[in-house]
Amino acid sequence: MAVRVLPAAAGFGGDLIEREDFHSADGVLNGPEALEWAQWFRGLVTDGYMPLKSGADPAQDFFNGNTAILWTGSWSAAPARDSAIADDIVFLPPPDFGAGPVIGGGSWQWGVSATCEQKEGALDYMEFAIQDQYVALVSSATGTVPATDAAAAEVPGYEPGGDNDIFRQLLQSYSVLRPPTPGYPYIATQFMKTSQDILNGADPQSALDQAVKQIDNNQKTNNFFAPQS
C-alpha cells in the first residue's frame, strides 16, 4: 500500500492549519483527530500493511505487483492503463475515516504579490494562463484534472462519460481545497517531513506539536502573508 497523507489526515477530521484566518495550525494539526490519523498511519507499517520504505517509484511498485493498493492521483491513470496489470486495476473513491471521504483540491497555484512592481503585467499573464485552452494543455502535460468544463472537453478522456471522467466526478464530490495561503508550500513541506518522521518511529503527538510550532512560526514571521500598508 502507498498512501497520500494529506487526504487521509483530513479524512480523520484533521487539517494543516485553521481556516478562519490561516494564522495557526494549533488544535487542527495536533488535535485528537490528527493524532488518530498519525497513529493509524504509523500502524500501517507496524502492522505490516505497508513497507517503511518503498522503491524509487511507488506507482511502479504497484504496476509490478509488489503492492496491492496505490493511493495516488489522476496522473497515474494513463500509466496504469498501459501497465501489465491494466485488466485488474479498479479506480476507487477515497475511504471515509470518520469525517467523510476527502480528496485534496486546488493543487499548487500561481499568485500575485500585493507589492508586485509590475502588477498589471502579472495580472495580464494570469488572465492569459487561465484560458481554457491553456488549462487543457497543463492538464494534458501533467495528468491532472482539468479545472473547467470547457477545458475538460478539450482533453481526451475527460469529456462526460470518458475514461477519466470518474476523476472529475470524485473531485466534485469529495475535494477539500488545500489551504489558500502563500504559506502553503512551507506547510506542505513541513507536513510531509512530519509524516515521514512518524513512519520512522517518532512519537506522533510530539512530531505533530513540533510541526505546529514550525508552521506557526513561519506564518508569524511572514506577518501571516497580510498585505503591507
pLDDT value of position 55: 78
pLDDT value of position 165: 95
The pLDDT-based confidence of 3 (bands split at 50, 70, 90) is low
- Distance (Å, whole) CA 26 – CA 213: 8
- Distance (Å, whole) CA 172 – CA 200: 35
Which three-class secondary structure state does DSSP give residue 104? strand
In the predicted model, what is the mean pLDDT of residues 35-53? 93
Cβ–Cβ < 8 Å for 199, 42: yes
Task: Find the Cα–Cα–Cα–Cα dihedral 37, 41, 47, 49, rounded to 10°.
Answer: 130
**Domain extents in the chain:** 1-105+178-229, 108-174
In the predicted model, what is the mean pLDDT of residues 134-139? 95
User: Which amino acid, 39?
Assistant: Q
Q: How many helices (H) and strands (E) does the chain have?
A: 10, 2
111 vs 211, higher pLDDT: 211
Q: Please give the CATH topology (third level) of the domain spanning 1-105+178-229.
A: D-Maltodextrin-Binding Protein; domain 2 (3.40.190)
pLDDT value of position 56: 82
Q: What is the pTM of this model?
A: 0.89
* Unique residue bearing C-alpha cell 513497507: 51
DSSP character string of 154-204: HSTT-STTSTTHHHHHHHHHHEEEPP-STTHHHHHHHHHHHHHHHHTT--H
pLDDT in tens, 50-63: 888 877 888 899 99
- Distance (Å, whole) CA 134 – CA 148: 11
pLDDT at 135 over 80: yes
Which three-class secondary structure state does DSSP give residue 76? helix
